[in-house]
Amino acid sequence: MRKLTLAAATLALGGAFAPGAFAAEYTIGVSNTVQGNGWREQMICAMRAQALVEPDVSRLIVAHRNTDSAGQLEDLNNLIAAGVDAIVLNPSNPDALNSAINDAIAKGIVVVAVDAGVSAEGAYILSNNQEEYAYLGAKWLFEKLGGSGDVVYMRGIAGVSADTDRDNGFKRALAEFPGINVAHEVFTGWQQDQGKQQIFDFLATGIPFDGVWTSGIDNVIVDAFVESGAPLVPIVGADNAGFVQYLTTVDGFEGAAVTNPGSVGGAGVALAVDILNGNAPNATTVLVDPVLWENATAEGRAVIESAQNPNLDPEWPVSVTIPGWTDYSMEQVIACEGPDA
Amino acid sequence: MTGFIQRNAWTLGLLVLFLILLGTTKSMQPDFGVSGLESLARAALPFAFATAGMAVVVIVGGIDLSVASMMAVCSVTAAVLMPSVGGVAGVLVVLALGAAMGAINGGLIVVTKVPDIVVTLAMLFVWEGFALLILSTPGGRVADWLQASTQGSAIFSGLPKALVVIAFISAAIWIPIQRSKLGLSIYATGSDESAAFRSGVPVGRTRVAAYSICGLFCAFGGLSLASLTGIGEPVPGPYLMASVAAVVLGGVVLGGGRGGLLGPIIAVFVLRIIRTILTFAGVDPNVTTIIEGTVMVGVVMLATIVTYQGART
């Protein structure tokens, strides 16, 4: 009995002194409104994995469902009422959530929007640099073509900010290569079937072209070339698992994948912890720069080989970590377990 | 007194359940107070109006699958109109639009004699298309007073404005109707359409009126969405299934003729606070919906058993 009392006292003392003395005990709330999409699921898993490895985070509350802006407001208000120290959200709309975000900021809660921006003042925004994404891929393609030739420009959805940013990056690269000419410009709507039909239609016209830049609708474009028997031209896509696999397996195919990681979610958690610990960045908007993986050189191929993992969900982007931001391992993000699990 | 309790057993039971859940919330998060109640009432706002509208058409013996789409049409119309015509005119136009959409739903059902579920399923897509035509991407802007009308407390601190809005609007619409001939016709048509017809109830007109009232409630639902977010969103939110669930949980018999609006509206609060509790508990989001559904079925089953037991003795 005495032993037990002693043990209890030691435990109590340990309990009183251990936390706080070494690490803060932050609770972080997550809000997301699209469930069942590979990119978003990777984002959530990256948030969980990053929270797991952050020594200062003791709890992660995830509100992750398919809903509208009013539903996201409800989730944000619940997270505020749950007493979180920071909220990392993928906003459904830049303007619709301001009432809850302003409430949170007024209560001293750190708010980090990932993937898309919010207009509320005082919120931090962390997203992939979409202009750089397009510039990097377009520049590689134009160099590959020796600075002259005709390209097909396959965009996303007109009016969506990511598409507008990417268009700016593409145009910047185009300005640097006066010998490059856009032979055909289409909006794929970020739909696989639509993009495939569009390239079939263009191949059928017989108008010659030398390369294709896509805004992420990529593996079906390779399929279209293979199925129609047309000679493959260099193609630029995103780091979707299917396209990255083609870069290593399709004979005679030269191309490049530009990373657009869903793991910005993990970077958002890392940023929130930095801000809570008093290391806020100078600007409220932080952009994560993409990386280009090409299969034209031996080094490039080696990078692609090392990035692939058979355990990775085929719907996920292949780049599961962001150097300089995320600290978890690939196994941890695949396990998708947060500090509470 | 005993008669009152017996007649309203289901509603009172739900109220007790809500208070227990509120106590649970408070015990999980001692800080839960005025702002928590305000958030809860704000979250309940669009669901409450969708549910009130659904309850009316279920009482008349029908169902309206287009409630969420009508709400989307109303929210984008408000957000597009208000910058040019002003807040008050915008609200009036939206209310008229809601009632008109409901009347069209009801009229099609009565004239074509196609079942409610088929007509309103088709109208779900029609109204959704109209919402996208009015505003293809989320945007627009609503009057500041409309946004302020659901924020904070009214009369005294701790009485959320959003709750006052729900109570006032549903009472102002439903109580006069319930006590009028139209109310009697709605319940009669829902109980037994042919008996009502033989007793001289104009069943066709009654149905159109009930669907129009549903449309009016959806207009308030759309306005509350616009009030919460400050913008209009053309893609319908998750209000259809949630409203059917709250109607059933609220003691309205699917099939018609029985129930009121108070039970379903309390049921909305029960369902919202369950989500709050699950958020506080940090339950895996993939498990959350399973728990929500299980609680709902459990409560309805329990309530049905208790009610039947009560009826037998």
Q: Is residue A329 part of a domain?
A: yes
Query: Domain boundaries in chain B?
Result: 7-312
Which residue in the set A35, A59, A65 is minimally distant from B282, CB to CB?
A: A59
Contact between A70 and B43 using a beta-carbon 8 Å cutoff = yes
Which residue in the set B137, B238, B276 is minimally distant from A78, CB to CB?
A: B276
- Residues whose CB falls within 8 Å of the CB of residue A131, separated by 6 or more in sequence, listed in order: A165, A166, A168, A169, A172
Does residue A160 surpass a pLDDT of 80?
A: no
Q: Which residues in chain B have their CB less than 8 angstroms from residue A52's CB?
A: none
d(CA A260, nearest CA chain B) in Å: 24
Which range has the top average pLDDT, A193-202, A259-268, A327-336, B48-57? B48-57
pLDDT band at A16; cut points 50, 70, 90: very low
pLDDT digits (tens, 9 = 90+) for B197-237: 999 999 999 999 999 999 999 999 999 999 999 999 988 98
User: Domain range holding A43?
Assistant: 11-127+262-287+321-335
pLDDT digits (tens, 9 = 90+) for A87-97: 999 998 888 99
Residue B309 CB coordination number (10 Å): 9
- Annotate B191-227 with b (16+ C-beta within 10 A) or e (fewer): bebeebeeeebebeebbbbbbbbbbbbbbbbbbbbbb
Which residue in the set B31, B137, B230 is minimally distant from A96, CB to CB?
A: B230
Q: Please tell me which residue of chain A has the smallest CA distance to B46.
A: A70
Q: Which residues in chain A have their CB less than 8 angstroms from residue B284's CB?
A: 62
pLDDT band at B311; cut points 50, 70, 90: low
pLDDT digits (tens, 9 = 90+) for B96-128: 999 999 999 999 999 999 999 999 999 999 999
Average pLDDT in chain B = 91
pLDDT band at A5; cut points 50, 70, 90: very low
Dist CA B277 CA B283 (whole Å): 9
Q: Is residue A307 part of a domain?
A: no
Does residue A15 surpass a pLDDT of 80?
A: no
Q: What is the pLDDT of residue A323?
A: 85
pLDDT digits (tens, 9 = 90+) for B18-49: 999 999 999 998 888 888 899 999 999 999 99
Half-sphere exposure of B14 (CA within 13 A, CB side): 26
pLDDT digits (tens, 9 = 90+) for A23-75: 679 999 999 988 877 788 899 999 999 999 999 999 999 999 888 899 999 99
Q: What is the DSSP string of B174-201?
A: HHHHHTSHHHHHHHHHHH-HHHHHHTT-
The verdict on B238 touching A (C-beta cutoff 8 Å) is yes
Q: What is the pLDDT of residue A185?
A: 94
Q: Is residue A4 part of a domain?
A: no
Token pair listed for B22: 């509120």
Q: At B204, is the secondary structure helix, strand, or coil?
A: helix
Which residue in the set A60, A68, A103 is minimally distant from B233, CB to CB?
A: A68
d(CA B230, nearest CA chain A) in Å: 6
Query: Taking Cα atoms as reference points, which of A211, A227, A216 lies closest to residue A187?
Result: A216
Half-sphere exposure of A249 (CA within 13 A, CB side): 11
- Complex ipTM, two decimals? 0.88
Q: Please tell me which residue of chain B has the smallest CA distance to A78.
A: B276
Q: Which residues in chain A have their CB less than 8 angstroms from residue B272's CB?
A: 74
Q: Please tell me which residue of chain A has the smallest CA distance to B79.
A: A96
Q: In what order do the strands lie in the sheet with A110-114?
A: A57-64, A26-32, A86-89, A110-114, A124-128, A285-288
Contact between B237 and A79 using a beta-carbon 8 Å cutoff = no
Say whether both A76 and A137 belong to one domain: no
The verdict on B233 touching A (C-beta cutoff 8 Å) is yes
Say whether both A46 and A90 belong to one domain: yes
d(CA A87, nearest CA chain B) in Å: 13
Contact between A99 and B137 using a beta-carbon 8 Å cutoff = no
Q: What is the pLDDT of residue A161?
A: 74
| Residue A171 Cα distances to A71, A140, A198, A213, angstroms | 38, 14, 21, 12
Q: What is the pLDDT of residue B302?
A: 78
pLDDT band at B155; cut points 50, 70, 90: confident
Query: Taking Cα atoms as reference points, which of B147, B151, B144 lies closest to residue B39?
Result: B151
Residue type, A115: D
Q: Is residue A25 part of a domain?
A: yes
Residue type, B46: P
Q: Is residue A296 part of a domain?
A: no
Which of A58, A74, A157 has the highest number of chain B CBs within 10 A, making it the mutation to test binding with B? A74
Which residue in the set A65, A69, A99 is minimally distant from B285, CB to CB?
A: A65
Q: Is residue A95 part of a domain?
A: yes
Q: What is the pLDDT of residue B307?
A: 65
Provide the number of structural domains found in chain A.
Answer: 2
pLDDT band at A251; cut points 50, 70, 90: confident
d(CA A44, nearest CA chain B) in Å: 11
**Residue range B68-83: mean pLDDT, rounded:** 95
Average pLDDT in chain A = 87
Half-sphere exposure of A104 (CA within 13 A, CB side): 34
Q: Is residue A314 part of a domain?
A: no
Which residue in the set B225, B233, B276 is minimally distant from A81, CB to CB?
A: B276
**Residue range A226-239: mean pLDDT, rounded:** 92
Dist CA A43 CA A33 (whole Å): 12
Say whether both A221 and A270 belong to one domain: no
Q: What is the CATH number of the domain that holds A199?
A: 3.40.50.2300
Is the domain covering B7-312 a CATH 1.10.3470 domain? yes
Dist CA B123 CA B54 (whole Å): 15
Which residue in the set A63, A78, A79 is minimally distant from B285, CB to CB?
A: A63
Q: Please tell me which residue of chain B has the smallest CA distance to A35.
A: B286
SS3 for chain A is: CHHHHHHHHHHHHHHHHHHHHCCCCEEEEEEECCCCCHHHHHHHHHHHHHHHHCCCEEEEEEEECCCCHHHHHHHHHHHHHCCCCEEEECCCCCCCCHHHHHHHHHCCCEEEEECCCCCCCCCEEEEECHHHHHHHHHHHHHHHCCCCEEEEEEECCCCCHHHHHHHHHHHHHHHHCCCEEEEEEEECCCCHHHHHHHHHHHHHHCCCCCEEEECCCCHHHHHHHHHHCCCCCCEEEECEHHHHHHHHHCCCCCEEEECCCCCHHHHHHHHHHHHHCCCCCCCCEEEECCCEEECCCHHHHHHHHHHCCCCCCCCCECCCCCCCCCCCCHHHHHHCCCCCC
Segment holding B91, helix H or strand E? helix B87-112
Contact between A68 and B237 using a beta-carbon 8 Å cutoff = yes
Q: Which residues in chain B have their CB less than 8 angstroms from residue A26's CB?
A: none
Q: Which residues on neighbouring strands pair with residue A126, listed in sequence order?
A: A114, A286
